[in-house]
Amino acid sequence: MIDSLCDQAGGQNVAVACFYFDFAARQEQSPTSILGALLKQLVVGLGEVPEEMTRAYEEQKNFIGGRRPRHTDIVKMLQAASSKKRTFICIDALDECVPEHRVKLLGSLNQVLQNSPATRIFVTGRPHIRPEIGRRLSGRVTSLPISTKTDDIIRYLHSRLEEDTTPDAMDSSLEADILRKIPEDVSEMYDM
């Protein structure tokens, strides 16, 4: 998805930032650090560090041991950065985020959207978080169900068969069987 957006952007005035939730890392993935990670990518896309960010960085050095940016600071910087270019933010597996973090994260993303209305957010997740996303993001949400398409399964099987390390054990009838049977079974599994 992100690569497609980047391709589509093709060097135009577009910035893309992504974040992948991971259940195993859910404690480190706080709303502030997630938004910070998105901001980081936007700054890299801008090509240069905005002056106000350099200033904030220099100022925090005056505190003993330095100080991490506060949540409100990150949101402000994110609002500023996403207004400079047309921005796409992609968030994968939002359902794997701690619920309290999710509330705060969606609230902050909503603030970013209000400030830079051209920003586009792409989110994936399991269906149960759908009402919450609609509510927290002011209802400006289009939902699209994702299912495994038979074409995709066949594509995947072809690519795996090409990588077969023991091609001598394969013949055309076995290959045909694989390409027929597996998509059938997967369809049953997901009730496609």
Partner 1 sequence: MTPLSSTQNPNSTASLPIIYNTLTCEKEKMPESFSHNTHSFNTISVSNHFTVADDRSNILAWLSPLDPKPRHQDIQDRRVENIGEWLLQTDEFRSWSASGGEGESGDAVLFCYGGPGVGKTYIR
Chain residues in the site for partner 1 (CB under 8 A) = 1-5, 8, 18-20, 22, 28-29, 32-37, 39-41, 43-44, 49, 53-54, 57, 60, 66, 68-69, 74, 77, 86, 88, 92-93, 113, 117-127, 129-130, 133, 137, 140-149, 151-152, 155-156, 159, 190
CB of 182 to partner 1, least distance (A): 14
Least distance between partner 1 and beta carbon 72 (Å): 14
CA angle 44, 46, 51 (to 5 degrees): 95
Q: Which is nearer to partner 1, 3 or 168 (CB)?
A: 3
Which residue pairs, CB below 8 angstroms and at least 24 apart, start in 131-140?
A: 132/102, 132/106, 133/94, 133/106, 136/103, 136/106, 136/107, 136/109, 136/110, 137/106, 137/109, 137/110, 137/113, 138/110, 138/113, 138/114, 140/113
User: Minimum Å distance from CB 179 to partner 1?
Assistant: 14
Which one, 62 or 173, has the nearer CB to partner 1?
A: 62
Nearer to partner 1, 153 or 174 (CB): 153
Please report how close the Cβ of residue 34 comes to partner 1 at its closest, in angstroms.
Answer: 7
Residue 183: CB partners within 8 Å, gap ≥ 6?
Answer: 150, 153, 154, 157
Can you point out the beta strands (E) in 75-119? Answer: 86-92
Q: Which is nearer to partner 1, 70 or 171 (CB)?
A: 70
